[in-house]
Amino acid sequence: MPPEPGLAELSPDQRLRRLELTVTRRLNGLLHGQYRGLLPGPGSEPAGSREYRPGEDEVRRMDWAVTARTAVPHVRQVDADRELTTWMLVDGTASMEFGTAELDKRELAVAAVAAVGFLTAGVGNRLGAQVLRADGVRRFPARSGRTHLLGLLRALLAAPRTPGHGDPPRPSVGSPGTTLGSPELADGLDALHRVANQRGLVVVVSDFLDGLPDDPGHPPPWEATLRRLSVRHQVLAIEVTDPRELELPDVGLITLVDPETGRRREVCTSDRRLRERYAEAAAAQREQVRQALRRGAATHLALRTDRDWGADIVRHVHAQRRMAAAPAGVARGGAA
């Protein structure tokens, strides 16, 4: 019996169907209740008050009116938001087209968008997106419904690829809702900050390499806006990587090409010390990204093109729910 074709080998419509089945069959069973999501949160709808528990409750949730009336400290209780607006920033620039496993990074980004979209779908819930592409920024207004989500996924799958180095440049012809120019992650986050006015979920899907400074002591240009977004919203940062970005195999002389600039360099991978230096530099770079996301108060979900992305999302959901259910002191201690 021939093996089942991989996701990258399917037609766009077949990919959409496979992605939807993967999410609904493997992930929906993990989520309980009417309102679904990847980041369990306290919500914002008032639901009464209860007595304050020292060490567990945040002081900013104190219900001062009830406290004054009863002379006993009380905190406000809230229910999960009944209508969720999810805003996504999807990196579709040249660096996301690299891949040496079953999927490349851009295809894995589409899978991540599908997971978030299907898991947050519900009555009244809306999804909006901004996609960084080689020909500019494509904007999708926040709307509800499965048709809108499938339209976004089809647009991601059909987005033009960056011409190879030496190819003639592609004409800068944008579709409706597209801003021409060289998109940057910081600009995309700034634009998202301007339109995401209502409290909700913000999801950023990228390799987060854009503008990463050589000096790890300097913050990347997108960190400040990420921190501003996290003040109002729950922020989920989905980092997409490929194994060859982390270590080089011993395959002799190869030519490396920078997908953003087209610069080429020949490298002899038989040099063990070179492979070690490459792995050390890559690990330091990923740690730099992790620290920037942590300072930006974003929840970090790492996906790799050579791993089962569905299983990684499952583990992420379980870990987030354990942290949400743990007492505040235990959660802080575990995070430390």
**Within 10 Å of residue 295's Cβ, how many Cβ atoms?**
14
Q: What is the pLDDT of residue 47?
A: 53
Domain ranges of the chain: 46-79, 82-164+175-305
pTM: 0.78
Q: What is the pLDDT of residue 9?
A: 64
The β-bridge partners of 279 are none
* Regions of the chain short of the pLDDT cut 70: 1-9, 26-48, 55-58, 60, 77-82, 162-183, 324-336
Q: What is the pLDDT of residue 227?
A: 94
**What's the pLDDT tens digit per position in 246-284?**
999 999 998 888 877 778 989 899 999 999 999 999 999
SS (H, E, C) the chain: CCCCCCHHHCCHHHHHHHHHHHHHHHHHHHCCCCCCCCCCCCCCEEEEEEECCCCCCCHHHECHHHHHHHCCCEEEEEECCCCCEEEEEEECCHHHHCCCCCCCHHHHHHHHHHHHHHHHCCCCCEEEEEEEECCEEEEEEEECCHHHHHHHHHHHHHCCCCCCCCCCCCCCCCCCCEECCCCCHHHHHHHHHHHCCCCCEEEEEECCCCCCCCCCCCCCCCHHHHHHHHHHCEEEEEEEECHHHCCCCCCCEEEEECCCCCCEEEEECCCHHHHHHHHHHHHHHHHHHHHHHHHCCCEEEEEECCCCHHHHHHHHHHHHHHHHHCCHHHHHHHHC
Residue whose C-alpha is closest to residue 129's, from 139, 120, 121, 119 = 139
The β-bridge partners of 78 are 46
What separation, in Å, do the N-terminal and C-terminal C-alpha atoms of the chain show? 50
**What's the pLDDT tens digit per position in 60-70?**
678 888 888 88
For 8, 28, 56, 157, 328, the CA distances from 21, given in Å and listed in that order, are 16, 10, 39, 17, 36
Gap between the Cα atoms of 137 and 66, Å rounded: 49
CATH, domain range 82-164+175-305:
3.40.50.410
Q: What is the amino acid identity at position 314?
A: V
Q: Are 92 and 132 in contact (CB under 8 A)?
A: yes
Residue whose C-alpha is closest to residue 108's, from 310, 317, 283, 286 = 310
Q: What is the amino acid identity at position 266?
A: E
